[in-house]
Amino acid sequence: QVQLVESGGGLVQAGDSLRLSCAASGRPFSSYAIAWFRQATGKEREFVAAIGWTFNNIYDEDSVKGRFTISRDNGRNTVYLQMNSLKPEDTAVYSCAARLRVPTTRSSDYTYWGQGTQVTVSS
């Protein structure tokens, strides 16, 4: 069992930055791939970024590549999502999720989920 808790969301203006954190407890954190997904009101959940147990990263190319950076600190059992140059269309609830070892972009591949943190970007 892995428990995930997100933090760091908030209300910011377009062009600002935020850093989200996903803190994990439970099974050995280093064995898990962690992904960030987001869901805007009235829209389907979409993949943002993921990092594997060997620190390999994948990003959604179209929406966040070049603006968002995912990283992990296995000593702190935490994955971070650094979000720069935020846009109003980034407004959503951001959730982290975990699965063993290899990151994927499909939400159905992930076993454990956090409750989410709200990010709101005003224009």
How do residues 57-67 score in pLDDT, each as one tens digit? 878 778 888 89
Tokens of 25: 């407890």
DSSP label of 54: T
User: What are the beta bridge partners of residue 45?
Assistant: none
pLDDT (tens digit, 9 = 90+) per residue, 41-96? Answer: 999 999 999 998 887 787 877 888 889 999 999 899 999 999 999 999 999 999 99
